[in-house]
Amino acid sequence: MDNISRLASKKPQIKVYYNEEVQNIEYIKEVLFGIEEEGIPYQVEAMKSGSAVQIGYEASLESTLGVGIGIDKNDIVLHYNKLKQDSPIFKIKLTSKATQKRSLGANAARLVTRMPFKEIENLG
């Protein structure tokens, strides 16, 4: 890996990993809008396999900020690298309301900035 690639991979950002089984990327946009509103950079990558919890945890380990979001065909999770893999901070359905997905994205950014979380009503 050359120096430029190595520097790019170490850029402080939230990692957002989604399983390739997610057919409609529109489902992901509200999560990204929530992160953007809080002013934190992010990177989105497709993963060949894995549950939202698994890839969310992997994303948190690979993020220099320690914050990752995992998305599969059923769920969206917010994970933090200091937690156990099977214990994400938030878990909501992929089909949750847009406001819930946006709040989850905002909370990923707020985890970085140490701001209080936004409420995600009726987690499910």
Per-residue pLDDT reduced to its tens digit, 15-72: 999 999 998 888 899 999 999 999 999 999 999 999 999 999 999 999 999 999 999 9
Give me the number of domains the chain comprises.
1
Instruction: Enumerate the β-bridge partners of residue 23.
Output: none
Flag whether 120 is in a domain.
no
CB 90 within 8 A of CB 104: yes
CB 68 within 8 A of CB 81: yes
CA distances from 91 to 3, 53, 95 (A): 37, 8, 12
Flag whether 15 is in a domain.
yes
Query: What is the span of the domain harbouring residue 17?
Result: 3-113
pTM given for the model: 0.89
Nearest alpha-carbon partner for 60 in 9, 11, 102, 108? 108
Flag whether 47 is in a domain.
yes
> pLDDT category, 1, cuts 50, 70, 90?
very low
Flag whether 123 is in a domain.
no
Flag whether 122 is in a domain.
no
Flag whether 30 is in a domain.
yes
Which region among 3-7, 32-36, 50-54, 98-102 has the lowest average model confidence (pLDDT)?
3-7
